[in-house]
Amino acid sequence: MADNRSSTIDAEIARPAFRNRLFAELIGTFILVFAGTGAIVVDKATGSVTHPGIALTFGLIVLALVYALGDISGAHFNPAVTLGFAAARRFPLREVGPYLAVQFLGAFAASALIAILFPESSTLGETLPRGSVGQSFVLEVVLTWILMLVILCVSSGSKEKGVLAGVAVGSVIALEAMFAGPICGASMNPARSLAPGIASGHFETVWIYLAAPTLGAVLAVPTSYLVRPPSWRPTDE
């Protein structure tokens, strides 16, 4: 009895408090959107970052954040990822709403700061389709499907952590942004697209980047079962 009680206490101590996890998601999403969209804005202003540099910025900042905050919040920083984990029953449904709220809040805070720093920017790093709406929608679905599949395969429970998790997730984001960014923006993240869209006043096509990544993340769940049957149990609830 004493051993069981001790292990329960140790588990409670080891698990970060919910408020700490929310702060981690808030801060992480802020940093992701600030660095990523900031790279786009700086490139448009100076031409010095280049498209490969923008893609690497997104990949590298996610890689760093997974290692920095993955053991606290799970390093989602993306409403589609949170919804994907919930669909896979790796994340408590009661925590989905608060996670999404702080992710969007962090993204809006980042876009607001970018707007203050670069008032001459007309889009603030917003994702916009270069081709047809249908083309960008399908691309965003497939890109997020690939991203979420990788995340589900390298994560533990609902946490992106481990020796190679940051490398895998950061690499796939950089790779997808590298080849698909010029066409659809390679958002894969509703918060990353909604915040600069609203802040810049250009939100006519923002629905693509809300619906397509969500659909792609959910579709990745049954796909992951084909290669790795679910074995997770909600012990962290």
Q: Per-residue pLDDT for 36 more than 60?
A: yes
For residue 159, what are the β-bridge partners?
156
pLDDT digits (tens, 9 = 90+) for 117-130: 999 999 999 999 99
What does the pLDDT read at residue 13?
A: 46
Residue 203 or residue 187, greater confidence? 187
- Residues 6+ positions from 129 with CB-CB distance below 8 Å: 135, 136, 183, 184, 185, 205, 208
For the chain, domain boundaries: 2-227
Summarize the confidence of residues 36-58 as an average pLDDT.
97
What does the pLDDT read at residue 9?
A: 37
**Cα distance from N-terminal residue to C-terminal residue, the chain:** 21
Q: Per-residue pLDDT for 39 more than 60?
A: yes
- Which pTM value belongs to this model? 0.89
What does the pLDDT read at residue 228?
A: 81
Q: Per-residue pLDDT for 7 more than 50?
A: no
C-alpha dihedral (201, 117, 213, 168), degrees to nearest 10: 170
Mean pLDDT for all residues in the chain: 90
**Contact indicator for 183, 131 with CB cutoff of 8 Å:** yes
Summarize the confidence of residues 1-15 as an average pLDDT.
47
Class of domain 2-227: mainly alpha
Q: Per-residue pLDDT for 224 more than 80?
A: yes
Question: Which single residue is written with the structure tokens 């910025």?
Answer: 57
